[in-house]
Amino acid sequence: MSERQKIVLLTGASRGIGHATVVKFNAGGWRVLTVSREPFDPRCPWEAGPNNHIQLDLADLDAVQAAIPKILEKTDGHLDALINNAGISPKLAGGGKPSCFDLSYADWLRVFNVNFFAGLVLAQGLRDALVASKGSIINIGSIAGSRVHPFASAAYATSKAALSALTRELASDLGPTGVRVNAVAPGEIETSILSAGTAELVEREVPMRRMGKAKEVADLLYFLCSPDATYITGSEIQINGGQTV
């Protein structure tokens, strides 16, 4: 009997770390269900692409909830991994860091909906499919979730800190079912989310004196979903070239 193809649901798949993760899992033979606000891009070479894409605004939690049956239909009741990767990091008009006082409650809520609540709602809705596969969840946190960062807003930092706590709680709740839950906290990874001034910050603060590559994060995500990581749960793995030493 042939082995069932593994399935991952990945949010924020359209660029940056998410796009590198699609490439990595696809090369490893996984079926990748992608989520982003845009429709499927026909330039993507994946054969089953449009059928594997869910167009969804994660800021709209009613829409996320409503998408669950559609996602479950696509997974046929089995899900081997959920990667909550989509994230937004608001900036001031000139590109600066918004403090606790710069953003309205509505702005904070939007950040928390995308960075935190969407991942929770997906985990709640997809729990049974993850349990059926003894799958795993990975939440993409940030170095800003554990220390004040010169460019990341207070809303972003606190949403990522909440995601760390959620990772621990989910790992505790789901441990007995065999579902593993981990977080990955990147430092400065070369994507469009970075602010001006990151190159200088890297020179000053990162022992490896370079930014990370999206592929390096994707490789870690792939490892955490692989049979080589079956006793790792409740962990938050830093990937930052030594920025936190």
Ligand X SMILES: NC(=O)c1ccc[n+]([C@@H]2O[C@H](COP(=O)([O-])OP(=O)(O)OC[C@H]3O[C@@H](n4cnc5c(N)ncnc54)[C@H](OP(=O)(O)O)[C@@H]3O)[C@@H](O)[C@H]2O)c1
Nearer to ligand X, 179 or 193 (CB): 193
Name 73's Cβ contacts closer than 8 Å, sequence gap at least 6: none
Does position 87 interact with ligand X (CB under 6 A)? The reply is: yes
Whether residue 105 lies in the annotated active site: no
Residue 192 binds to ligand X (criterion: CB under 6 A): yes
Contact residue for ligand X among 182, 191, 233, 243 (CB under 6 A): 191
Coil vs helix vs strand at 194: coil
**Is 97 within 8 Å of 153 (Cβ atoms)?**
yes
Secondary structure string (H, E, C) spanning 8-64? EEEECCCCHHHHHHHHHHHHCCCEEEEEECCCCCCCCCCCCHHHHEEECCCCCHHHH
Q: Is 237 helix (H, G, I), strand (E, B) or coil?
A: strand
- Point out which span in 24-32, 34-42, 172-180, 220-228 binds ligand X (CB under 6 A): 34-42
- Per-residue interface string for the shown chain with ligand X, residues 128-157, x marking contact by CB under 6 A: ------------x-x---------------
Q: What are the residues whose beta carbons fall under 8 Å from the beta carbon of 86, sequence distance 6 or more?
A: 11, 12, 18, 35, 36, 58, 114, 115, 118
- Considering only the stretches 43-51, 128-136, 190-198, 227-235, report the one whose residues sit in contact with ligand X under the rule CB under 6 A: 190-198
Sign of CA pseudo-dihedral 213, 93, 87, 185: positive
The size of the interface with ligand X (CB under 6 A), counted in residues, is 30
The pattern of x and - marking residues 88 through 127 that bind ligand X according to CB under 6 A reads xx------------------------x-------------
- The reply to whether 205 sits near ligand X by the rule CB under 6 A is no
Catalytic residue numbers read: 156
Residues lying near ligand X in the complex (CB under 6 A): 11-18, 36-38, 56-59, 85-89, 114, 140, 142, 186, 188-189, 191-194
